[in-house]
Amino acid sequence: MITPLLPTYARMPVAFERAEGMYMYDTNGKKYLDFYSGIGVMCLGHCHPTLVNALKDQADKLWHTSNIYQIPEGERLAQRLIDASFADTVFFTNSGAESIECAIKMVRKYHHDKGNKGRYRMITMASAFHGRTLAGIAAAGQEKMIAGFEPVPDGFDVVPFGDLEAVKAAITPETGGIMVEPVQGEGGIRPLPLETLRGLREIADENNLLLVFDEIQCGMGRTGKLWAHEWAGINADIVTAAKGIGGGFPMGACLATEEAASGMVVGTHGTTYGGNPLAMAVGNAVLDEMLKPEFFEHVVKMGEMLFARLQGLQQRHSNFVSEVRGSGLMAGIRLPDVPTRPAVTDLISRGFCPAPAGDSVIRMLPPLILDESHIDEAVSIFDEAFTDWAKNGVPGV
């Protein structure tokens, strides 16, 4: 019999009831260290007072109006995001997938309005993730997501991960843009080398292509800068955001330069909920915390510490861990011979919550507010688990 919730997820055997800061508590009162933060969403940890207060205050005033009216808190949030980054304009959405959709439409409309109607194609990279809409799964091009849902929209050319020569070779007179995650999340915490990001910028400039960075997972401070592409010292034409931008409130954004957004005039795009007063109140509260001096320095420092401790873990347990990779507080350890799902289920039973990702990687996206004690706690749980697996057998094998 089908379950009341459409059974598209193989859910872990745990349900949480409440949470605070770095910890979640399940329905039996057991405590868990959260190193996933709901896929990097809870960037300020759980129930951060600034966010809770912003949401409660706004809930007493006004929840939702419509984008046919002005929304001053949205204008303020857009301006703050613009002041902090490459962008000149922002479209607010409810999710990452909708931010991607806006970006794709923006690229097509840009070339259309420049008189290049046929330039609708975008180059993307293998093992990417761009959301679950038809365009999103077409853009990622992964068979496991597309199978059974064909036909998906045309217009995406997938090249091997990080291969600049393949990007160049894929450009045709129909190509309008390039879209990549500066650090792949679902694909297994794979950072694109900074010189590759710079190479993409050059290729885009030489061929009049718009460069879209999907920063839905790696953006909003996750790598220690507001946007991950900033590490390469380059600008984007378009950036998609979601996840951390609402700190747990469902929202997303598509940010763009004035030039890239030039086709998106009145009537070309819209959303009912996107940018509503509740979301904007929380979004502003997220920035209140994130743009405080030393917030990003803390992320960088904790990221370096986490990376070093995970390398130590790899040395102690090289029988399991073949690689440590990531950027800032987006970290993965690769366990080529351990099935990641049962491994993560085992770690969860020990009161620690990372998550599986592609390429046999256990992924960590802890709240950005963590301190050294949480890193120590995480690494000691890994130590304990790996020692146990070496003695008693690997979960799921």
Binding footprint of ligand PLP on the chain (CB under 6 A): 95-97, 100, 129-131, 181, 185-186, 214, 216-217, 242-243
The distance of closest approach from Cβ of residue 135 to ligand PLP in the complex, given in angstroms and rounded to an integer, is 11
Q: Both ends of the chain: CA-CA distance in Å?
A: 29
The distance of closest approach from Cβ of residue 332 to ligand PLP in the complex, given in angstroms and rounded to an integer, is 14
Nearer CB in complex with ligand PLP: 201/363 = 363
Nearer CB in complex with ligand PLP: 22/103 = 103
DSSP 215: -
Nearer CB in complex with ligand PLP: 38/176 = 38
The distance of closest approach from Cβ of residue 241 to ligand PLP in the complex, given in angstroms and rounded to an integer, is 10
Residues 125 and 160 sit within 8 Å (Cβ to Cβ) = yes
Q: Which of 259, 258, 253 is nearest to 275 (CA)?
A: 253
Helix, strand, or coil here: 95? coil
Residues 51 and 248 sit within 8 Å (Cβ to Cβ) = yes
Nearer CB in complex with ligand PLP: 44/357 = 357
Here the tokens at position 214 are 């999907």
In this structure, is the dihedral angle defined by the CA atoms of residues 384, 387, 390 and 391, taken in order, positive or negative?
negative
Nearer CB in complex with ligand PLP: 33/97 = 97
Q: What are phi and psi of 40, to 5 degrees?
A: 70, 10
Q: What angle do CA 324, 203, 220 make, to 5 degrees?
A: 45
The distance of closest approach from Cβ of residue 306 to ligand PLP in the complex, given in angstroms and rounded to an integer, is 20
Nearer CB in complex with ligand PLP: 41/159 = 41
The distance of closest approach from Cβ of residue 368 to ligand PLP in the complex, given in angstroms and rounded to an integer, is 16
The distance of closest approach from Cβ of residue 96 to ligand PLP in the complex, given in angstroms and rounded to an integer, is 2
The distance of closest approach from Cβ of residue 8 to ligand PLP in the complex, given in angstroms and rounded to an integer, is 13
The distance of closest approach from Cβ of residue 313 to ligand PLP in the complex, given in angstroms and rounded to an integer, is 25
Nearer CB in complex with ligand PLP: 185/395 = 185
Residues 328 and 223 sit within 8 Å (Cβ to Cβ) = yes
Query: 């300020």: which residue's tokens?
Result: 44
Q: For ligand PLP, which residue has the nearest CB?
A: 96
Q: What angle do CA 249, 254, 258 make, to 5 degrees?
A: 145
What is the DSSP code string of 98-136? HHHHHHHHHHHHHHHHTT-TT--EEEEETT----SSHHH
Nearer CB in complex with ligand PLP: 87/338 = 87
Q: Which of 251, 357, 287, 342 is nearest to 77 (CA)?
A: 287
- Please list the residues that pair with 26 across neighbouring strands: 16
